Chain A
């Protein structure tokens, strides 16, 4: 009998509790988990092109939608192309939700206006806008504009009328550029000069050339969740998670006594490791993803249930505690490996073929099972060895059986 193992167990328990206290009360770790729209509130809109589009067209559409999204002034809008002809726009924490949905679905308006706001031509008349470095003598970068026939005519008339006066360019009603007319331009080729850097010029050129949407868009899905609903969802899933973990923990202690308690410690370690990894990779937490976390916790516990059932059998067959532990783990390993791998296969397929919400669930399920494979086998095994090594050794049989 030695107290070495017992000391180790107590030390691990103290460290786990201290870390848990720190990350729940002092510096809540959950604060660092990014929240999805369903948790923090916000708007998600899926727009689909109503006619066949090329990848370049979609790139333009993406730029326009991103420009509009930035216009709402939310912290981190996300705009993504999906299925070749769809755009998913997410605006977390946005206040005026209905207005945002309507605005995102609009057809973009690019307009050239005279000094007093007189309309000159629209984005439909612009053929291309290309950024270039200023030629010798000039500074910074320029944008070369090319108009179609109607645009060329309108622009020639306008530059004559507003010579030495400013002409402004508006995108969705927002003034993005004002330039002074230097000369009458009748060849349909205009140049905006004096732009700071080539990069700025490129950004502006993209906006200008994508000004007219290459293809009409239709809202095929729109979701808005108010911040209040999001907050109550966070609360609900925290309560559900805590209750689920408490139930699992109590069940394990009831079914496997001291070994169940060790499994609970491993589960605890698993959860902390899981949250740490989710924070580290910047995973965006959604409600279905919470369900994935809880389900994988169930699978983590399953691994320990399988192991304990095996160890119990070996103890009943009359093996010593030490041998029973080793044999039980060895016999359980293969079953756990096979079952976990098949769950991970399901999660991977789900990730590749599922959409939005389902993907979040797939990530937490797959990742959770992978982490649990480590904690439920290695960590629990280590704890059981310490227990076996400690003064509790003579009682381990009772605890497991």
Chain B
């Protein structure tokens, strides 16, 4: 095989890189902070279409005159007829007054979209989102413990949290506005990132079973190089699809799409350069301790611990599908390096 990269040999450099990325992201999150949209921060957001082009200053003056505070007025897109007005959740009476004076003083308009969210509702959305993220992670850890083992699960989920924090931090740094769909975006990242880890760990598990005299580092390197093509292809496909939504899909799903694009890129990175090294360091330490213990009591090293269980379910399912087609050749075991 042509391309072969020694991922494990350089893992310390990657640890440093991962730490630097995390620090930058955390700084973004805690110093700059997320740009919370109306769904999280609460308030009123109106998108209005004036029949004639208007000056923002005129809208501004009208709001001020009516006694609205902490409002925010911007043009929507390139037209000077479309204006977005954001303000705190004022009473229906005040809003009606604003409605009236806007059409009288600035010009006749129609409301294209209107959203009002109170603080209690937004904290409910946030709480629901956090609970969802934690429970989803828990469910996935359990699944990985059942299908793989605890070491794979912990290494995997550690890198998943890295992905989640890095994505949150970068979203804060870029500072685009996030609304309710952002929660779905963060969950998508977690799902994708787990997905990515499983594909690679599955290969590590498989190669461990066939392991001959190779070192653990060689096994992990082989697995990563074997899955590298797939990792790149899949990340490309998802990034392309989500970029299409980001650019063409309208404002509602932009924050979701942008979050997923960031998360997928860093998810691909951390599967290869963070989750696998962590797993490697953990397992190689365990193997070294076992070897040392064996030497102390003066006997040959114990047979390697079985790190992965065979998978009767999948084997059986495929066997059923392929029954009758590949019976003669399917049994033959080929050993490759």
Is B217 in the interface zone, CB < 8 Å from A?
no
B111 at the interface (CB under 8 A from A): yes
Which stretch from B4-12, B63-71, B122-130, B278-286 is at the chain A interface? B122-130
- Whether B326 pairs with A326 at a CB distance below 8 angstroms is yes
B135:A223 contact, CB within 8 angstroms:
no
1/0 per residue A188-203: CB within 8 Å of B? Answer: 0000000000000000
Q: How far is the CA of A397 from the CA of B232 in the complex (A)?
A: 22
CA–CA, A222 and B253, complex, Å: 19
Contact of A288 among B143, B192, B244, B253 (CB under 8 A): B253
Q: Can you list, as one digit per residue, whether each of B135-164 has a CB less than 8 Å from chain A (1) or not (0)?
A: 110011001100100000000000000000
Inter-subunit contact A220/B117 (CB<8 Å) = yes
Chain A residue at smallest Cβ distance from B114: A224
**Are B230 and A357 touching (Cβ within 8 A)?**
no
Contact call A317/B336, Cβ cutoff below 8 A: yes
* CB <8 Å contact, B238 and A343: no
* Contact A330/B92 with A220-B117, A365-B188 known, Cβ cut-off 8 Å: no
Beta-carbon contact of B240 and A98 below 8 Å: no
- Is there an interface contact between B115 and A248, defined as CB atoms closer than 8 Å? no
Contacts of B240 in A (CB 8 A): 244, 247-248, 251
A339-B329 in contact (CB<8A): no
Q: Contacts A98-B114, A243-B244 known; A335 to B198 CB distance under 8 Å?
A: yes
Interface assignment of B183: CB less than 8 Å from any CB of chain A: yes
Task: From known contacts A248-B237, A361-B181, infer whether A330 and B318 are also in contact, taking CB-CB under 8 Å.
Answer: yes
CB distance from A346 to the nearest CB of B (A): 4
In the complex, chain A residues 304-362 whose Cβ is within 8 Å of any chain B Cβ: 305-306, 309, 313, 316-317, 319-320, 322-323, 326-327, 329-331, 333-335, 337-339, 341-343, 345-350, 352-358, 361-362
**Contact present for B326 and A287 (CB under 8 Å):** no
What is the CB-to-nearest-CB distance from B208 to chain A, in angstroms, rounded to a whole number? 14
Q: For the complex formed, measure the closest distance between the CB of A33 and the CB atoms of chain B, giving whole angstroms.
A: 17
List the A side residues contacting B234 at CB < 8 Å. Answer: 298, 301-302, 305-306
Q: A342-B191, A355-B180 are in contact. Are A319 and B241 (CB under 8 A)?
A: no
User: Do most interface residues of chain A lie in helix, strand or loop, or is the interface mixed?
Assistant: helix
Given the known inter-chain contacts A220-B121, A349-B136, A354-B128, please indicate yes or no for A299 contacting B195, CB distance below 8 A: yes
Nearest opposing residue in chain B for A353, CB measure: B132
Bound-state CA distance A218–B92 (Å) is 11
Q: Chain A residues near B326: list those with CB within 8 A.
A: 322-323, 326
CB–CB B252/A38 < 8 A: yes
| Distance to closest chain A CB from B262 (angstroms) | 14
Contact between B128 and A355, CB atoms less than 8 A apart: yes
List B residues 174-206 near A (Cβ within 8 Å): 180-181, 183-184, 187-188, 190-192, 194-196, 198-199, 202-203, 206
Q: Does B256 make an interface contact (CB < 8 A)?
A: yes
Q: Is A290 a contact of B253 with CB atoms below 8 Å?
A: yes
CB-CB under 8 A from A322, the residues of chain B are: 326, 329
* A383 / chain B contacts, CB cutoff of 8 Å: none
> With an 8 A cutoff between CB atoms, is B51 at the interface?
no
B195, chain A: closest CB distance, angstroms: 4
CA distance A319 to B333 in the complex (A): 12
- In the complex, what distance in Å separates the CA atom of A303 from the CA atom of B25? 31
* Inter-chain contact B195/A339, CB cutoff 8 Å: yes
| Contacting pair A240 B244 (CB below 8 A) | yes
How many positions in chain B have a CB within 8 Å of any CB in the partner chain? 83
Band of interface residues on A: 35 or more
Residues on A with beta carbons closer than 8 Å to the beta carbon of B132: 349-350, 352-354, 358
Complex interface: stretch among A23-31, A64-72, A142-150, A228-236: A228-236
How many Å lie between the Cα of A355 and that of B47 in the bound state?
23
Q: Which residues of B (55-93) have their CB < 8 Å from a CB of A?
A: 92
Q: Mark A279-292, 1 if CB is under 8 A from B, else 0.
A: 00000000110111
Q: What is the CA–CA distance of A371 and B91 in the complex, to the nearest angstrom?
A: 47
B108 within 8 A of A: no
User: A residues within 8 A CB of B330?
Assistant: 323, 326-327, 330
Contact A46 B252 (CB under 8 A): no
Asked if residues A334 and B118 are in contact (CB atoms below 8 Å), the reply is no
22 A-B residue pairings within 8 Å (CB atoms): A83-B124, A98-B99, A101-B116, A220-B121, A221-B121, A233-B252, A237-B253, A244-B244, A244-B245, A287-B249, A295-B241, A297-B241, A302-B230, A313-B226, A329-B321, A329-B322, A339-B194, A343-B192, A343-B194, A346-B140, A354-B129, A362-B184
A interface residues (Cβ-Cβ under 8 A, vs B): 38, 46, 48, 83, 97-98, 101-102, 105, 218-226, 228-229, 232-233, 236-237, 239-241, 243-244, 247-248, 251-252, 255, 287-288, 290-292, 294-295, 297-299, 301-302, 305-306, 309, 313, 316-317, 319-320, 322-323, 326-327, 329-331, 333-335, 337-339, 341-343, 345-350, 352-358, 361-362, 365, 378, 381
Other A-B pairs, 8, CB within 8 Å; known A287-B181, A343-B194: A223-B113, A226-B113, A287-B253, A302-B230, A326-B322, A347-B191, A349-B187, A355-B180
Complex A-B, nearest 8 residue pairs according to Cβ-Cβ distance, in ascending order: A224-B114, A244-B244, A353-B132, A240-B249, A236-B250, A346-B191, A334-B314, A240-B248
